[in-house]
Amino acid sequence: MTDPHRQAERIRLLIAEDQTLIREGLATLLAQQNDDFEIVGAAADGEQAIEFARRYRPDVILMDLQMPRVDGVTATQRILREFPATSIVVLTTFETNDLIFEAVSAGARAYLLKDARIEDIAATIRTVAKGQSALSPGVAARILEEFRRLRPRHAPVSASVRDDLTARENEILKLIIEGKSNGEIGEQLHLAEGTIKNYVSTILEKCGARNRTELAIKTIT
C-alpha cells in the first residue's frame, strides 16, 4: 500500500517535448525514479505545454527548446507570467550561449542536455522543485559572460550589492562571478566546502538574491 504522506510529497511533473519517442521514454523512466514523481502530462509542443500548465498546475516542467507552434523559451515566459512558482528545467540538444542565455533569462532554473543520465535529470528536478537553481558553474559562467557582452562598455560595475559584505564575503563573491563551485572556492581559499556553502547562503541573503546566478548578475548589471 502506498504511504499517503509519501504520495503527498510527490513532485507533479509536466514533460514538454515534440519527439514522441523521447517524450514517452522520459515519462516512463522518470515515473520509475523512487516513486517521487507524478507525471501529470506530456505536451507535444509549446502551445500544449502552456495549456497543460494551466490545466494541471505542475510543480516542475521539463521543457524542450525547439518545438512547433510555440518554442520553449516563449512557453517558459508565458507560463511563468501566470504561474511564477512553477520551476522549469530546460532539456535540449543545443548548448549555444545565446540559447542558454535566453532560456535562463526567461526564468528556467536549470539547463540540461539530452545526453544527461536519467539519474541526473531526476536529481535536477528534485532540486528545482525546492525552489533552488540547478545551473552548473560552467553554465552560470557562460550566462554571466553573455551579460558582460551585452552590457555597454561604459556601464559601471554595480558596487551597491557589495556594500554590506565583509572582505571575505566579497572575496567569495568574486569567485562566484567567475563561475567557480563551492568546492573550487574552498580549495582556493583553503576552507571547507561546508564553510563556503554557509558563506554563500549569507551572501545571497544579504544581497537579496535567490541563487548564485542572480547574485552574480546583480554585480555586473
Question: Is the confidence at residue 163, as pLDDT, over 80?
Answer: no
pLDDT exceeds cutoff 60 at 44: yes
Backbone angles phi, psi at 150, to 5 degrees: -80, -25
The average pLDDT across 27-46 equals: 89
Name the pairing type of β-strands 60-63 and 87-92: parallel
Query: Cβ-count burial of 99 within 10 angstroms (0-12 exposed, 13-18 middle, 19+ buried)?
Result: middle
pLDDT at 3: 44
Average pLDDT over residues 99-118: 82
Q: Please state the rounded mean pLDDT for residues 23-48.
A: 89
* pLDDT of res. 191: 92
Percent of the chain scoring above 90 in pLDDT: 30
Q: What is the mean pLDDT of residues 143-151?
A: 60
Chain segment 191-211, per-residue pLDDT in tens: 998 899 899 888 888 887 766
- Please state, in angstroms and rounded to a whole number, the distance separating the CA atoms of residues 175 and 179: 7
- Residues 48-77 as b/e (b if ≥16 CB within 10 A, e otherwise) read bbbebbeebebbbbbbbbebeebbbbbbbb
Distance CA 47, CA 135 (A): 26
Residue 39, pLDDT score: 92
| pTM more than 0.75 | no
First to last CA, the chain: 53
Q: Going by C-beta distance under 8 Å and a sequence separation of 6 or more, which residues neighbour residue 184?
A: 137, 175
Q: What is the mean pLDDT of residues 101-123?
A: 84
What's the pLDDT at 140?
Answer: 63
Would you tell me the crossing angle of helices 97-106 and 72-82 to the nearest 10 degrees? 10
Per the DSSP assignment, residues forming a β-bridge with 42 are 15
Buried b (16+ CB within 10 A) or exposed e, 141-164: bbbbebeeeeeeeeeeeeeebbee
pLDDT at 156 (0 to 100): 44
pLDDT at 116 (0 to 100): 84
- Helix residue spans in the chain (DSSP H): 4-8, 20-31, 46-56, 72-82, 97-106, 118-129, 137-150, 167-177, 182-189, 193-207, 212-220
Q: Could you read off the pLDDT of 51-78 as tens digits, one per residue?
A: 999 999 999 999 998 898 999 999 999 9
Q: How confident is the model at residue 144 (pLDDT cuts 50, 70, 90)?
A: low
Residue 209 cell numbers, joined: 538574491
Find out whether 47 and 79 touch, Cβ atoms under 8 Å. no
C-alpha 50 chain-centroid distance: 19
